[in-house]
Amino acid sequence: MSGGDAKKLVRSPSGLRMVPEHRAARSPFGLDEPPWVPDKECPRCMQCDTKFDFITRKHHCRRCGKCFCDKCCSKKVPLPRMCFVDPVRQCAECALVSQKETEFYDKQLKVLMNGATFFVTLGTSDKSELMVCRLSNNQRYLVLDGDSHYEIEIIQISTVQILTEGFTPGGGNTRAIGMILQYKVPGSEEVTQMKFTAGEDFSCNKKLSASWLAAMHKVSK
């Protein structure tokens, strides 16, 4: 593991977390732990309004920080966006969001980090270059490798437009065939555009390219 990607184990009131040693190396998809609603400000469950006493204990949701009874905050769900090592207690609403995000982390991010091959056109150029596109291991950069090399910081991307074909008036299936990406170069307000096109001559990679584009679309959301 390179020094820039080094991680450390820390203990917080919410549980054990494996976080980057340097804040600048954090994933752009990460979330900070929320402040907990103070116990003295929460005499009742913030979901069902049950009064807390010696029998009905209060619990804090690790995602929103609000205070709930055990019934309303009983689920323990993985929370990768906060780097928790183990599943943590969350309210029903937050647990649902976290479950959807876990699928995103387990599937879409892995697809993006594995990469896919595209013809890439920079700006208004009429020439394209065959490049392998992938998300960096720390999830902070989109890396493009061919005869040229580009590293685009994810937080600098302003627009992601997925190009499709196969739409029918009846709402038939569409297939992702490319993407237009707009981003700012650090230190400049200028917006740069790149167009990604799945090569028709690489039929064995079409499915992989379409999966990569679909994952990129979800990242942009």
Per-residue pLDDT, 219: 76
Per-residue pLDDT, 189: 80
pTM over 0.75: no
Candidate CATH numbers 3.40.50.300, 3.40.50.720, 2.30.29.160, 2.40.10.340; the one for domain 114-165+174-218 = 2.30.29.160
Per-residue pLDDT, 2: 43
Per-residue pLDDT, 1: 38
Per-residue pLDDT, 195: 94
Superfamily per CATH, domain 6-110: Zinc/RING finger domain, C3HC4 (zinc finger) (3.30.40.10)
Per-residue pLDDT, 176: 80
Per-residue pLDDT, 3: 46
Residues 11-53 pLDDT 10s: 988 889 988 888 777 888 888 999 999 999 999 999 999 999 9
pLDDT less than 50: residues of the chain: 1-3, 202
DSSP structure string for the chain: --GGG-EEEEEETTEEEEEESSGGG--TT--PPPPPPPGGG-SB-TTT-PBP-SSS-EEE-TTT--EEETTTS-EEE--GGGTBSS-EEE-HHHHHHHHHHHHIIIIIHHHHHH-EEEEEEETT-S-EEEEEEEE-TTSSEEEEESSSEEEEEGGGEEEEEEEEE---TT----EEEEEEEEEEPTT---EEEEEEE--TT-GGGHHHHHHHHHHHHHHH-
Residues 116-132 pLDDT 10s: 999 999 988 889 999 99
Ordered by start, the domain boundaries in the chain are 6-110, 114-165+174-218
